[in-house]
């Protein structure tokens, strides 16, 4: 064991440390962290409408009195959703550009603005839709057709639709929301890097020192900004001429869809969960190191599921079994390693005064998924006694939840819930109020307790042996 630990410390730790501090990965992580407030508020709006509209409609039938009384509140929640989840990609773009530019010590606001503008240049700004002709009698249908208009009756034959109406200057939610996150990530990153590199090479407009810094900084960003934005405007036109498709659609088809598909594989989920634990065992913040994948891929999956729910009111059409919230709901209760199960085992079976003292101090925070006191105070970091349960408990629990979700027994997690929610409550809220999902989370907690218990007893024997040898 000592040889293995020494080998990992010598060969694995330096690589892991470099990954955890790599400025571009850190910027991506910080970009996702920056949008958490609006992700959370949008998810809260959806969750409220689950309880104010969706569940009552299921229980009491459509058009019941309770839902009718909540009409205005439901509309407010809809407005919040539109102002948060629907524009999430664009907000992330600015945050990403800001953090990348900040890491290179150049004007971060300009970096965010340039990234934002570059992403917009890659979007389809035209739309074709059907327009309902209000106040026009359906009997006029043939007359309108004779005039050369492309018209038809709606589904219930109650109104006339003017078909194929075109508009320009339209930014659809497919580009600004979760579906466009990968475009925002790729284009935002590359455009900001163009801006940063040109700024560092001093390819800027230099104003006299007497000019106020705010004005000087703005002018300095003009040339790099023009080059960055025009670069992606030209790329967009090349894509249209050669493929007839906008870059956003190409990225979704060739990059986003394959990555999301790969992320949903059983072994992919297990690998991510295991790596988080492995990094943590060596004292690195596993969730932060793996953030580009966890946030970039699995948050996108969650938000796509959320969009499906918002459109259909059902979980049946959700494509992604495992999302960002699934980690917290089923495999990180009490924090990484499911240390809440460890704390329970310590209170019941530990005879070590030092361990019980740490557990008493850590328990109140552990309930709310804060477990650094356990990880570093026990310690679990580099502790060979607890290495095995630390590494295997989350993957086992993730496998259980993944299997039940894939089998359709519990719905996927599609609501972003504050990570401090206690065990069971997180899964309940994250699945839109599913009691069975909450039960699975509690079952996983019990299983974690069973796995941790033998190692707590082993720690007792190690102490007894140490005392007998002293």
Chain-centroid distance of CA 164 in Å reads: 36
Residue pLDDT, tens place only, 381-409:
778 888 889 999 999 999 999 999 999 99
pLDDT tier for residue 120 given thresholds of 50, 70 and 90: very high
Is the pLDDT confidence value at 467 over 60? Answer: no
Contact yes or no for 289/279 (Cβ under 8 A): yes
SS3 (DSSP) at 153: strand
- Give the pLDDT score at 17: 62
Nearest-angstrom CA–CA distance, 274 and 393:
9
Cα separation, 35 vs 300, in Å, equals: 13
pLDDT at 144: 79
Contacts of 451 (CB under 8 A, 6+ apart): 341, 389, 392, 393, 396
Least confidently predicted of 48-52, 169-173, 266-270, 391-395: 169-173
Residue 23 scores a pLDDT above 60: yes
Q: Is residue 42 over pLDDT 80?
A: yes
Q: Are 374 and 367 in contact (CB under 8 A)?
A: no
pLDDT above 80 (res 31): yes
Can you tell me the mean pLDDT for 205-219? 81
User: From the centroid of its chain, how far is CA 301?
Assistant: 7
Mean local confidence (pLDDT), 361-375:
87
Strand 126-133: give its sheet, edge to edge. 126-133, 160-168, 151-153
So what's the pLDDT on residue 198? Answer: 96
Q: Which residues pair with 162 in a beta bridge?
A: 131, 151
Question: Would you say residue 464 has pLDDT above 70?
Answer: no
Q: What is the DSSP letter of 52?
A: I
Q: Where are the domains of the chain?
A: 35-83, 127-168, 268-469
pLDDT at 470 over 60: no
Neighbours of 419 (CB within 10 A): 18
Asked whether residue 5 carries a pLDDT value surpassing 60, the answer given is: no
Q: How confident is the model at residue 462 (pLDDT cuts 50, 70, 90)?
A: confident
- CA–CA separation, 280 vs 271, rounded Å? 14
The model carries a pTM of 0.75
% of residues, the chain, pLDDT over 90: 41
Answer with the residue of higher pLDDT: 262 or 427: 427
pLDDT computed for residue 20 by the predictor: 62
Tokens standing for residue 328: 């917290």
Assign residue 151 a region (left: φ > 0; alpha: ψ between -120 and 50; beta: otherwise): beta
Q: What is the pLDDT of residues 159-194, one digit of tens each?
A: 888 787 766 777 777 788 877 888 899 999 999 999
**Is pLDDT of 1 > 60?**
no
What is the average pLDDT value for the chain, to the nearest integer? 86
**Quick check: 466 pLDDT over 70?**
no
Rounded mean pLDDT, 106-131:
89
- pLDDT tens profile 125-147: 877 777 788 778 878 888 878 87
Which residues make beta-bridge pairs with 160? Answer: 133, 153
- Give the CA radius of gyration of the chain: 27
Q: What is the pLDDT of residue 182?
A: 85
Q: Is-contact 289 16, C-beta < 8 A?
A: yes
- pLDDT score of 76: 95
The least confident of 300-304, 378-382, 414-418, 445-449 is 378-382
Residue whose C-alpha is closest to residue 380's, from 246, 259, 286, 263 = 286
């Amino acid at each position: 064991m000592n040889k293995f630990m020494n080998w990992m410390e010598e060969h694995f730790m330096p690589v892991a440390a470099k990954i955890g501090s790599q400025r571009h990965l850190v910027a991506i992580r910080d970009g996702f962290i920056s949008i958490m407030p609006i992700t959370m508020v949008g998810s809260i709006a959806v969750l409220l409408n689950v309880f104010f509209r969706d569940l009552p409609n299921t229980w009491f039938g459509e058009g019941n009195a309770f839902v009718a009384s909540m009409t205005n509140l439901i509309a407010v929640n809809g407005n919040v959703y539109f102002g948060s989840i629907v524009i999430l990609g664009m907000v992330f773009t600015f945050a990403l550009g800001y953090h990348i530019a900040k890491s290179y010590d150049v004007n971060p606001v300009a970096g965010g603005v340039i990234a934002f503008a570059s992403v917009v240049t890659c979007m389809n700004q035209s739309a074709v839709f059907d327009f309902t002709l209000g106040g026009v009698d359906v009997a006029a249908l043939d007359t309108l057709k004779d005039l050369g208009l492309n018209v038809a009756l709606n589904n219930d034959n109650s109104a006339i639709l003017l078909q194929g109406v075109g508009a320009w200057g339209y930014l659809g939610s497919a580009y600004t929301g979760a579906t466009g996150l990968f475009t925002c990530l790729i284009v935002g990153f590359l455009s900001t890097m163009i801006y940063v590199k040109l700024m560092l090479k001093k390819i800027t407009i230099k104003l006299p020192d007497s000019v106020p810094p705010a004005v000087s900084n703005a002018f300095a960003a003009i040339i790099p900004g023009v080059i960055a934005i025009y670069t992606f405007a030209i790329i967009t036109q090349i894509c249209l001429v050669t493929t007839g498709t906008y870059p956003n659609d190409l990225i979704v088809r060739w990059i986003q869809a394959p990555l999301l598909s790969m992320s949903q594989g059983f072994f992919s989920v297990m690998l991510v969960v295991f790596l988080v634990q492995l990094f943590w065992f060596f004292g690195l913040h596993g969730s932060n190191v793996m953030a580009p994948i966890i946030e970039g891929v699995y948050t996108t999956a969650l938000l796509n599921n959320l969009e499906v729910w918002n459109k259909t009111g059902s979980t049946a059409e959700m494509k992604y079994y495992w999302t960002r919230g699934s980690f917290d709901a089923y495999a990180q209760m009490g924090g990484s390693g499911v240390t809440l199960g460890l704390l329970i085992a310590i209170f019941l079976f530990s005879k070590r005064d030092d361990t019980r003292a740490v557990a008493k101090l850590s328990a109140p925070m552990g309930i709310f998924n804060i477990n650094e006191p356990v990880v570093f105070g026990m310690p679990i970091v580099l502790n060979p006694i607890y290495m095995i349960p630390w590494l295997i408990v989350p993957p086992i629990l993730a496998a259980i939840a993944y299997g039940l979700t894939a089998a359709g027994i519990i719905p996927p997690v599609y609501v972003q819930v504050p990570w401090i929610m206690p065990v069971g409550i997180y899964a309940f809220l994250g699945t839109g109020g599913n009691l069975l999902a909450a039960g699975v989370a509690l079952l996983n907690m019990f299983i974690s307790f069973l796995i941790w218990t033998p190692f707590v007893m082993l720690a007792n024997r190690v102490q007894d042996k140490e005392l007998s040898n002293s």
